[in-house]
Structure 1
Amino acid sequence: MTPHAPIREAWLALADEPVLDPAQPILDAHHHLWDRDESRYRSAEFVADVGTGHDVRASLYVQCRTGYRRSGPESLRPLGEVETILDWSAQTPHYPAGIVAFADLMRGSEVRDTLEALLALAPGRVRGIRNTTAFHPDPAVRSNPNPAPDGLLRSEAFRRGAAEVARAGLVLDVWAYQTQLHEVESLARALPDLTVVIDHCGGPLGVGPFSARTPADVTAWRRGVNALARLPNTRIKIGGFGLAVFGNTYHQRPLPPHSRQLAADWAPWVESCLEAFGPQRAMFESNFPVDKGMFSYVALWNAFKRLTRGASQADRDQLFWRTAAETYGLHFPACRAGTSDA
């Protein structure tokens, strides 16, 4: 059963706000597509959200076990996800411009065959790898219908697999809770040639044993983020505030939240990430459709725009598109008729 808040289009339609700074180019650095029993969110649905007013010119798809092959070698079945996404997005090649795929890094150095097959399948489109690694022993801390077992990030086999990701010229995305950030730091420190992108602000928790969100909890999260930021091969994605484990409950309110409220709520986390990593190593993400159960696409990007009102245009461009494009080696159409060069 999914731990995410259900998407209710009628509820989202109860709130409306104008798009702020509509000329600001955006690369959505993290979204998913799927067709599941409880929810359908394929390319058409994503493009509909993109079309609500913000200037989203490209996106990055991140694996979520969509469309695996049902036969053939187990190690090659994840190629079906890339095949599915390419098929769904055939008419919209910038959505996504790149794909973070799955390859089982617990196979160690043997994962090289999967990586080579992924790169051959979608040259220039497969830009990274992610595994399911977020773990906490408390059952209340759950962000995946199939939670990861403990110890993957600490495993020597996983480290050898991650080394193959670096050799293949790919990026490693890591979704880990704040209690695992020391494990991510150890991995990134051991593999300086590997670019490690920390998803969703480094997983600050607000449920289960963290539901009180004590100053000590926040300090521990910030300490983990700062330690990762000291390594030059790390980057961070800012977003994921609609994940249930963050402890936000916007979906329980009678009306969807306005971007003013979102910006106020998110400011401490966004500011800490930016203080640690700086705009040159941070990027904004939607995490749709996961986060869509709690707020709209318009409100999400409006909140990020409110939070960067005091930043220079160069820094805003880094956060909204350039860092993601540089990190993943993505083509970004940064200049359009009628807009200034980004």
Structure 2
Amino acid sequence: MQVVDSHIHLWDLKTHRYPWLENPGVSFVGDARELKHDYLLDDLLREAGEIEVLKLVHVEANHDPADPVEETRWLQSIAERDESRGMPNAIVAAVDLSAPNAPALLEAHASFANTRGIRQILNVHDNKLYDYVGRHFMREPQWREHFALLRRYDLSFDLQLYPSQMEEAAALARAHGETLFIVNHAGMFVDRSSVAGYRTWREGMRTLAGCRNVAVKISGLAMFDHHWTVESLRPYVLETIDTFGVERAMFASNFPVDRLFGSYTDLWRAYASIVDGASDAEKDALFRRNAERCYRI
């Protein structure tokens, strides 16, 4: 089975600083204490086993916010040492677009050959258990001013948010029609205990899908389903594909975070089982081609 994994994280705790791994705890996404160890390219490829990983997209791993460019520099050096494969083939870097130095950081990230996009986590939730950032960045004038600079550097934006923020994000996508938005983790359907929560996710995803410059990664489902099975993942996978269409959806592992709840091979086999009835062309799009196109690799 061949895949292009469009969402992975690497970290080297010996040489780099990741504040969230200095004193990790337990949250809704699992026990981060089990992640407090180096996770390098060879570790991921070894875990892949029978899954043939053709290309990788690295998404910023909450590296030291004082020097986010160092993470990109390190990842680029790994890609250049990996001469035959060039992994990670694409880098989605970190920038706080609300910060005064955001323009300089965007320029610095863009100077590296494998940089393709930016991610700034936007998740805000009334429940502190789920709240990541505690502020609505998309409403801040300086953040929006700096966001507009992504087009100058031909950078995409990895959009990590909750369903309650999707309408606002769709307005942002419509205002920046030449910037590609890639929704992380199938929209992070967090409020699963109510019919209203499901509707908010479903309608929010449909609103985002109405913007032709928005694609989606089917990933991170285990963060909300720690005892997942093929059948428990199936409705979210199929609803996401149906909403965005086969041409704008892609599978990804979110490793090593989702490693807390299953193996790499089991996850990819689950995806394959869910879309077993799809055509070869549709499978090629979901597992490989869409990620290559979106991240230009």
TM norm structure 1: 0.76
CA separation of 1:67/1:152 partners in 2, compared to 1, >3 Å: closer, same or farther?
closer
Aligned residues of 1:31 and 1:287 also touching (Cα < 8 A): yes
Match of residue 220 from structure 2: 240
Partner of 2:294: 327
| Distance in 2 between residues matched to 1:328 and 1:276, nearest whole Å | 21
Structure label with greater radius of gyration = 1
Q: Distance in 2 between matches of 1:263 and 1:157?
A: 43
Distance in 1 of aligned mates of 2:213 and 2:241: 16
1:29 paired with 2:1, answer no
Match of 1:127 in 2: 116
Alignment partner, residue 15 of structure 1: none
1:98 maps to 2:78: no
- Per the alignment, residue 54 of structure 2 pairs with 57
User: Are residue 42 (structure 1) and residue 35 (structure 2) matched?
Assistant: no
Determine the C-alpha separation between the residues in 1 that align with 2:229 and 2:284: 21
Q: Distance in 1 between matches of 2:245 and 2:187?
A: 15
Aligned to 2:168: 183
Which position in structure 2 is the counterpart of 1:284?
251
Q: 2: distance between equivalents of 1:325 and 1:199?
A: 16
| Cα deviation 1:105-141 (Å, max 9, x = unaligned) | 1147x63322222122x22x00000012111121221
In the alignment, what sits opposite 2:31?
Answer: none
Counterparts of 1:258-269 in structure 2, within 5 Å, are: 262-269=229-236
Matched residues in 2 for 1:88 and 1:327: separation? 22
Verify the 8 A CA contact 1:67 1:84 in the aligned structure 2.
Answer: no
Is structure 2 residue 101 aligned with structure 1 residue 114? no
Query: Quick one: which amino acid aligns to residue 141 of structure 1?
Result: Y
Q: CA deviation at 1:271?
A: 1.1
**CA distance in structure 2 between the partners assigned to 1:149 and 1:64 by the alignment:** 19
Aligned residue type for 1:204: F
Kept after mapping to 2: 8 A contact 1:42/1:88: no
Cα displacement string for residues 275-328 of structure 1 (whole angstroms, at most 9, x for unaligned residues):
111111111110001110001000000011001111111111111011111111
Matched, 1:79 2:76: no
**Partner residue, 1:295:** 262
Q: Check conservation: 2:80, 2:86, Cα contact below 8 A.
A: no
Q: Do structure 1's residue 249 and structure 2's residue 226 form an aligned pair?
A: yes
Distance (whole Å) between structure 2 residues aligned to residue 193 and residue 156 of structure 1: 20
8 Å contact kept, 1:162–1:172: no
How many residue pairs align between the two structures?
274
1:288 match: secondary structure? coil
> What's the counterpart of residue 162 of structure 1?
147
2:45–2:53 CA contact under 8 A, matched in 1? no
Matched position secondary structure for 2:95: coil
1:218 matched to 2:195: no
User: What TM-score, normalized to structure 2?
Assistant: 0.87
Q: Is the counterpart of residue 152 in structure 1 residue 140 in structure 2?
A: no
Amino acid aligned to 1:82? T
8 Å Cα contact 1:100-1:128 kept in structure 2: yes
Structure 2 match to 1:136: 125
**Residues 38-88 of structure 1: CA distance to partner in whole angstroms, max 9, x if unpaired?**
2321222112123x11121111000013366xxxxx5xx211001222344
Paired AA for residue 296 in structure 2: G
Q: Secondary structure at the match of 1:40?
A: coil
8 Å CA contact retained: 2:219, 2:254: yes
Which secondary structure does the structure 1 equivalent of 2:104 belong to? helix
Name which of 251, 260, 273 aligns with 1:306. 273
Aligned-residue sequence identity (percent) comes to 29
Structure 2: give runs of 5+ residues left out of the alignment. Answer: 14-20, 23-35
Distance 1:158 1:296 in 2: 38
Compute the displacement of 1:104 (Å). Answer: 2.0
Residues 202-250 of structure 1: per-residue CA shift (max 9 Å, x gap): 1101xxxx35x2222111100000000011110000010121xx2x232
Output the CA distance in 1 between the equivalents of 2:135 and 2:106.
24
Where structure 1 has 5 or more consecutive residues not aligned to the other structure, the ranges are 1-21, 69-73, 251-260, 331-342
Q: How large is the Cα RMSD of the aligned pairs?
A: 1.8
Take 1:132 and 1:309, find their aligned partners in 2: how far apart are those partners?
33
CA contact (8 A) 2:6 2:253 kept: yes
